[in-house]
């Protein structure tokens, strides 16, 4: 394991935010000046159901250390049911991430409404802390093979 002692670890974190709730929540965190780490970069999608598991895998493939997806609270989706699909897809994807060598802590789903700037900021704090403690993402491998 290579440890670069002198250089502080700065994780690369991709956040997918739905346009109607979470992106607006992130905007509110901004206009309320509720700071969180600059390591988080937000990608705007119309709805959490637009997030293809492929996008998340691609992020890990390209060196992301963590991926978080935020959507409207269940029942409050702007498109009525989009976040339900997203929730099911992510549950399925996350259950397989260990298999491809990504610790499950590197992904997270959080429901943030347009009025929850504080929650957005808090969530990002927690997630960045979590990823920082997990350290740099390793190359994709099957964790179950390690014990063989």
Partner 1 sequence: MQRIGVFVCHCGTNIAATVDVKKVVEMAQHEPGVVHAEDYAYMCSEAGQELIHKAIKEKKLTGLVVCSCSPRMHETTFRNAAEKAGLNPYMVEIANIREHCSWIHKDIGEATEKAVILMRAAIAKVNLDAPLKPGESKVTKRALVIGGGIAGIQTALDIAEAGYPVDIVEKTPSIGGRMSQLDKTFPTLDCSSCILTPKMGEVNAHPLINIYTYSEVESVAGFVGDFTVEIRKKARSVDMDKCTGCGLCQEKCPSKKSLSEFNRGLSTRSAIYTPFAQAVPNVPVIDREACIKFKTGKCGICSKVCQAGAIDYDQTDEIVTEKYGAIVVATGFDMIKLDKYDEYAYSQSKDVITSLELERIMNAAGPTGGHLERLSDGKDPKEIVFIQCVGSRCADDRGKSYCSKICCMYTAKHAMLIRDKYPDTNVTVFYIDVRTPGKNFDEFYRRAVEDYGVNYIKGQVGKVIPQPNGKLLVQGADLLDSKQILKEADMVVLAAAIEPNPDVRKIATMLTASIDTNNFLTEAHAKLRPVESPTAGIFLSGVCQGPKDIPETVSQAGAAAVKAIGLLAKDKLLTNPCTAHSDELMCNGCSQCANVCPYGAITYEDREVNDHGIRERRRIAVVNDALCQGCGACTVTCPSGAMDLQGFSNRQILAEVDAICR
Residue 94 engages partner 1 in binding (rule: CB under 8 A) = no
Part of the chain binding partner 1 (CB under 8 A), chosen from 1-9, 77-85, 102-110, 125-133: 77-85
How many residues of this chain interact with partner 1, rule: CB under 8 A?
52
Residue 33 engages partner 1 in binding (rule: CB under 8 A) = yes
Q: In what order do the strands lie in the sheet with 66-71?
A: 40-45, 13-18, 66-71, 107-111
Minimal distance, residue 145 CB to partner 1, in Å: 25
- 19 burial type by CB count under 10 A (0-12 exposed, 13-18 middle, 19+ buried): middle
Task: Tell which one of 22, 107, 113, 132 touches partner 1 (CB under 8 A).
Answer: 113
Report residue 51 as tokens: 């997030």
Minimal distance, residue 66 CB to partner 1, in Å: 11
The gap between the terminal CA atoms of the chain, to the nearest Å, is 19
Q: Which is nearer to partner 1, 6 or 147 (CB)?
A: 6
Are the CB atoms for 107 and 68 separated by under 8 Å? yes
**β-pair type (107-111, 66-71):** parallel
Q: CB under 8 Å to 98, separation ≥6 — which residues?
A: 104, 143, 144
Residue 14 engages partner 1 in binding (rule: CB under 8 A) = yes
Q: Which positions touch partner 1 (CB under 8 A)?
A: 12, 14, 19-21, 23-24, 26-27, 29-31, 33-36, 38, 41-47, 49-55, 58-59, 62-64, 72, 75-82, 85, 89, 113-116, 121
């Amino acid at each position: 394991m290579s440890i670069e002692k002198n250089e502080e670890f700065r994780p690369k974190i991709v956040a997918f935010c739905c346009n109607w709730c979470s992106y607006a929540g992130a905007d509110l965190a901004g206009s309320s000046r509720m700071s969180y780490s600059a390591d988080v970069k937000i990608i705007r999608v119309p709805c959490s159901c637009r997030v293809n598991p492929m996008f998340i895998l691609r992020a890990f493939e390209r060196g992301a250390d963590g991926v978080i997806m935020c959507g409207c609270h269940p029942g409050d989706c702007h498109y009525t049911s989009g976040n339900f699909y997203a929730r099911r897809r992510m549950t399925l994807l996350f259950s397989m991430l260990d298999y491809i060598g990504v610790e499950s802590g590197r992904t997270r789903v959080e429901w943030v409404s347009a009025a929850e700037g504080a929650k957005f900021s808090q969530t990002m704090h927690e997630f960045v802390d979590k990823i920082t403690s997990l350290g740099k993402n390793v190359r994709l491998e099957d964790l179950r093979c390690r014990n063989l």
